[in-house]
Chain A
Amino acid sequence: MQTPRTTEGRLKVVGLILICALIVEALSFLGHGAFAFMIFSAVAAVLVSVGVLPYLLTLVRKDHEAR
């Protein structure tokens, strides 16, 4: 898969990752055991981090490109 080069393309990828993360987080609340906790911490929280960091990088890059 090619890395999107435009800001809009990056935002789309970041958005899809965050949507997946939030859906997984919501699903983790259906369970009440240790497995649900593992899904939340190992999948949802990690995916949110993976989504948020590239978004911040996109902002920095955009600002850098604007200069």
Chain B
Amino acid sequence: MHLPALLLILLIAFTVALIAVFVIRPQTTATTAGKIAAFLGFFAFPLLCVGMGFSSQMDNSKSTRFCLSCHIMEPYGKSLRIDDPGHLPASHFQNHRVPPDQACYTCQTSYAMFGGLKAKLGGLRHMYVYYLGTPPKPEEIKLYEPYNNRECLHCHVGARSFEEGVVHTADPAVMAEIKSNKLSCVSSGCHETVHDVAKLGEQKFWKEPADANSSDH
């Protein structure tokens, strides 16, 4: 357990104990010290617990393990282990071009103002559909809007492999079109194979070494 989570559990335990004192002996609140302690126990600490808990949960919601906890996402998790460098998410995941423990969030958030918030709201919508609605089949899941090159360029712009890439520099117009999002990175003929979950049965899979330290998924 991480230290912040341990601290939170300790705070929760302390708050429960403090509240229990007032539940068992409510007359304790008669004194000034009792009133202050009651205010802390009934108001300040519970709100602090929820605030810290919310922060911890939001942090956890970025994890690959969190995203793959819904069955509908399992094929997408499997596609990260396809043994083919032509598969964009697989090559990013396996080569740590994205943090393996936050692989989904790193690419699915938008790197614009309120991008993280927008991604979280999208996640809440997914949970609503998953638990209370009619979830689609994994292969029928579509993005709300076309994938924006901004998300790729957030990491790749300035990188030598991108800026000096043979295809990227073959025509000076290409680079300008990529950077202005006129030519999509995932367009046909470029990096087009993304989460091809419909054809998972035809793929070979990479087996992660047992001693790899990317075990958070």
Binding site for B on A (CB under 8 A): 7-9, 11-12, 14-16, 18-19, 21-23, 25-26, 28-29, 32-38, 40-41, 44-45, 48, 51-52, 55-56
Contact = CB atoms under 8 A, between A and B. Distances in A.
Nearest to A39: B57
A19 B66 contact: no
Contacts of B26: 7-9, 11-12
Interface of A is mostly: helix
B110 interface: no
A11 B21 CA distance: 11
Contact of B70 (A26, A29, A33): A33
Interface residues of B, number: 36
B4 to A, nearest CB: 11
Interface of B: 5, 8-9, 12-13, 15-16, 19-20, 22-23, 26-27, 29, 38, 41-43, 46-47, 49-50, 53-54, 56-57, 60-61, 63, 65-66, 69-70, 127, 130-131
Contacts of B49: 22, 25, 48
